[in-house]
Structure 1
Amino acid sequence: MSALLQLIVVCILIQVLILVYHLTGPPKSLSRFTRTSSHTAPDFSHLAEHCAHVPPIPAASFLERQQSLAQTLHSLNASAYIAEPGASAGYFANLSGSQWHLSERPLLLIISPEINSAEQVHAKVSILTPAFELTRAKLLPLPSSIDIAYLAWPEDADPFAVAVSAIPSLSEGTVFVDGMTRNFIVDGLQKATPGSEVVVSPVEIRRLRERKSKEELEIMKCVNEVTLLAIRAVRDNMYVGMRESEAHRMIVSALAAAGLQDPGALTLFGENAALPHGSGTDRVLGAHDFALIDCDGSLHGYHSDVTRTFALPDSTVHAAHLRLWNLVHSAQANALAAAQNGTITAEVDRAARDTLHAQGYAQYLTHRLGHGVGLEVHESPYLRGGSDDVILTGHTFSDEPGIYIEGQVGVRLEDCFYVNEDGQSIFLTEGVGGAATSPWKP
């Protein structure tokens, strides 16, 4: 065999080995990077202590919320507010979607303002329920300052006519419905009230839930803190050569051990992280790869949302990718600084994009900067271009800039923040260190 032919064969073998490395991970002999597989699952039980002291929302707070809603309805000359079981009904009356699943038979929360003889406004709470479900409906743990009126509709009756029969002064005011109410319910209510207007609740109503109280913020701080602690604990148990599915199982296990409900996660390695919602593959973590973990869970109904893109202690990430990480880190910090009481949400999104634009990477931030967070992982208002929503004290958002270069690399950093009484934005993860400081210190 000639020297030239030998050189060609060696080059082909090297290319084959590189391809195998990227598809299956490093060979087991690379002990410097690879941890021996173990059937013993990591122990994350210590995470359960972090939020054990945080109580749920007390009944008295639900009554205050109902009263605030009734007074707002009265000021807007509205006859009622109507919501299906879900986040808004959960906020006002502890009636979440997990307590009563939606079906074609409507069960509705109806809150109306009533005026007593002393001209004081009080909240009247009614529940529209299928008649055969009345007993089950009465078992729901719904706080109310006065007896709840249960409106039972039989199967041969129009449920919406029954619903509006309980609304006082209907001819004099608008009926507001929660923005997530299904169309057939809105249409049914409108047909049952031809002389009134049935419309989606305005910003004055939405802000009652959007702007968080101190007790809500305490829950949200803890759930976001423990989510970040879970990511760090999982990172300590990761190794080059593992698969995305293994990291996924670990982070879900850690969140569950922390006591969070409905834990979810994205685990993306290398170029897979360039697709913000994942690739559907099960990539192996290489020695030069970033790992991205984006996860959430809920505590007493309030959600976390935290993302870290990081390297392992023995990783050798390319310098170009490290520069992208630092650029995303700067974008996140600049967006947080821009988010103050009175700021338009679009300006916060612009602050992050301007940071990336200065280095020529704005086109690689392919999604909005952030979203409201609370009883839903994604709720209004949103940090996006074109929005004219105003940020106010008590608002809570995610701050999650990213750079996504398909086929090469993806970087996203995400912490949720709140606007404090001084009008400044503070990360909800601040109690455990807040934002990442480097790819090796998430």
Structure 2
Amino acid sequence: MADAARAAAAAGLTGLVITPGYDLRYLVGSRAQTFERLTALVLPASGDPTIVVPRLELASLQESAVPELGVTVRDWVDGEDPYSLVAQALGGGPVSVAVTDAMPALHLLPLADVLGVVPVLATEVLRTMRMVKDPAEVDALRKAGAAIDRVHARVPEFLVPGRTEADVAADIAEAIVAEGHSEVAFIIVGSGPHGADPHHECSDRELRAGDIVVVDIGGPYEPGYNSDSTRTYSLGEPDPEVARRYAVLQRAQRAAVDAVRPGVTAEQIDAAARDVLAAEGLAEAFVHRTGHGIGLSVHEEPYIVAGNSLPLQEGMAFSVEPGVYFPGQWGARIEDIVIVTADGALSVNNRPHELVVVPVS
């Protein structure tokens, strides 16, 4: 919180107003949800932080770090104006305020009315803090990565011809929780032509011998940091041309991971993967960015994409996940979460990158 307040001051802001969401969880560990009644952490650039909370939600603060951090709690009851309480916590007078991007219009508009100014987004103030993970966050991501690796190790036993993608997804969901995740964030089981849709989830399509199957899975691992890893499987020996193209993809993913180090830009990592695919005539088959940041949220900054000139810093964590997709036929993707180290990258995922051949009878 002190770092956030200093960052707000450096940005010329009076303070930050953070409603429930990942920013609030990052700052005080609160997993409160957004309701029609306002809950908001008010962080003045100078002065003590205050959390404005409905009296009937006071108990939820006991599950956060608010009691330990000495944050002033200003509770309110129906009939009071919580937005005026926010203004008071900011010190009154002219203000320049930034709010979390998760604040709903339901609260943003009345807050702007009371403050007499339209707030800006706090993203620029908080982005570096959340992008650069501290040792405890790195440890949490490594544990999440190891847990999802254990799930991928079990996936071949679920991939049986005649079973549906939904059947496989149900088994994977059970395994994700069994291997230590608190819940399932997402499961993609894209078999055959469905693998050519990067955001396919699962369906009643039955797996068949010869299918290429994309399995992209992840979820939060306490204290809430996420896993996200993709591996591609072949039910039986793959067609030689499939194997050739997959080998190119594997080289592209390796090239991008090898390019990671402090000072290299996000777009250079994207280019490292894309250039390998382009050299083999597969540029048009790669239809998305190379990666996204990860932490308390599955998708956050930094985004590993063309046009992002952000230099990487030690402690940044993101996915490296190039893919190739051939509509109506098949697709493949390889994804690891990596953390920028002083001289390269640490991968939290360590399952083999080869096309995993699942024997079929």
The residue matched to 2:53 in structure 1 has which SS?
Answer: strand
Residue deviations 1:237-283 (CA, integer Å, cap 9, x gap): 43333321221121111111112022131112112101112276322
Distance (whole Å) between structure 2 residues aligned to residue 250 and residue 427 of structure 1? 26
Q: How does 1:232-247 map to 2 (within 5 A)?
A: 232-247=153-168
Cα deviation, residue 138, structure 1: 4.7
Task: Name segments (4+ residues, structure 1) moved above 4 Å.
Answer: none
Match of 2:335 among 404, 414, 417: 414
Do the aligned partners of residues 417 and 280 (structure 1) sit closer, same or farther apart at CA in structure 2, a change above 3 Å counting?
closer
Unaligned 5+ runs, structure 1: 1-65, 116-123
Cα deviation, residue 362, structure 1: 1.0
TM-score by length of structure 2 reads 0.91
TM-score by length of structure 1 reads 0.75
The residue matched to 1:329 in structure 2 has which SS?
Answer: helix
In structure 2, the residue matched to 1:221 is: 142
The residue matched to 2:120 in structure 1 has which SS?
Answer: strand
Distance (whole Å) between structure 1 residues aligned to residue 21 and residue 201 of structure 2? 31
Distance (whole Å) between structure 1 residues aligned to residue 197 and residue 14 of structure 2? 47
Do the aligned partners of residues 392 and 439 (structure 1) sit closer, same or farther apart at CA in structure 2, a change above 3 Å counting?
same
Q: How does 1:37-436 map to 2 (within 5 A)?
A: 66-96=1-31, 100-114=32-46, 124-131=48-55, 133=56, 135-143=58-66, 147-168=70-91, 171=94, 174-194=96-116, 198-263=119-184, 264-278=186-200, 281-300=203-222, 301-312=224-235, 315-422=236-343, 424-429=344-349, 433-436=350-353
Residue deviations 1:138-185 (CA, integer Å, cap 9, x gap): 5343345653222233433332112111123753x5322112222343
Q: When the two structures are aligned, how many residues end up with a matched partner?
A: 356
Do the aligned partners of residues 339 and 180 (structure 1) sit closer, same or farther apart at CA in structure 2, a change above 3 Å counting?
farther
Question: Which has the greater radius of gyration?
Answer: 1
Distance (whole Å) between structure 2 residues aligned to residue 279 and residue 434 of structure 1? 22
Cα deviation, residue 228, structure 1: 1.6
CA RMSD of aligned residues (A): 2.2
Do the aligned partners of residues 224 and 343 (structure 1) sit closer, same or farther apart at CA in structure 2, a change above 3 Å counting?
same
Cα deviation, residue 347, structure 1: 2.1
Residue deviations 1:307-348 (CA, integer Å, cap 9, x gap): 100225xx1211111112111111111111223212221222
Contact 1:415 1:435 in 2 (8 A): no
Distance (whole Å) between structure 1 residues aligned to residue 154 and residue 63 of structure 2? 38
Do the aligned partners of residues 145 and 240 (structure 1) sit closer, same or farther apart at CA in structure 2, a change above 3 Å counting?
closer
Do the aligned partners of residues 407 and 137 (structure 1) sit closer, same or farther apart at CA in structure 2, a change above 3 Å counting?
closer
Unaligned 5+ runs, structure 2: none
